[in-house]
Amino acid sequence: MSTKNWPLWEVFVRSKNGLEHRHCGSLHAADEEMALENARDVYTRRSEGVSIWVVESKHITASNPEHNGELFEPAQDKVYRHPTFYDLPDEVKHM
């Protein structure tokens, strides 16, 4: 098998009761249809009511860990930037 024609795909799955798609791994496939089928076999065991997203890895742009300082740290030392001072009623889940 030549991996040249079998690019890497990232797989995101939303489980039956899940709220959002989570990244659960990657796999090789020749195109998006095959990627979906493979993802269904490898990652979902065909549970019903799940949603699968596949995206070819080359389409994902990742942030550079070297830039963590300027990207993420400034927000952390200013508490007023985070909405942490509200009391949430129990009925509101998943905030």
46 binds another protein (CB under 8 A): yes
Q: Contact with another protein (CB under 8 A): which of 16, 41, 58, 74?
A: 41
15 binds another protein (CB under 8 A): no
Q: Contact with another protein (CB under 8 A): which of 34, 50, 52, 55?
A: 34
CB of 45 to another protein, least distance (A): 9
Which letter, b or e, does each residue of 50-82 get, where b requires 16 or more Cβ atoms within 10 Å of its Cβ?
Answer: bebebeeeeeeeeeeeeeeeeeeeeeeeeeeee
Which spans in 1-95 are helix H?
32-39, 68-76
Token pair listed for 65: 């860990």
CB of 62 to another protein, least distance (A): 24
The burial class, CB within 10 Å (0-12 / 13-18 / 19+), for 5 is: exposed
Q: Contact with another protein (CB under 8 A): which of 6, 7, 15, 24?
A: 6
Q: Interface residues with another protein (CB under 8 A)?
A: 1, 6, 27-30, 33-34, 37-38, 41-42, 46
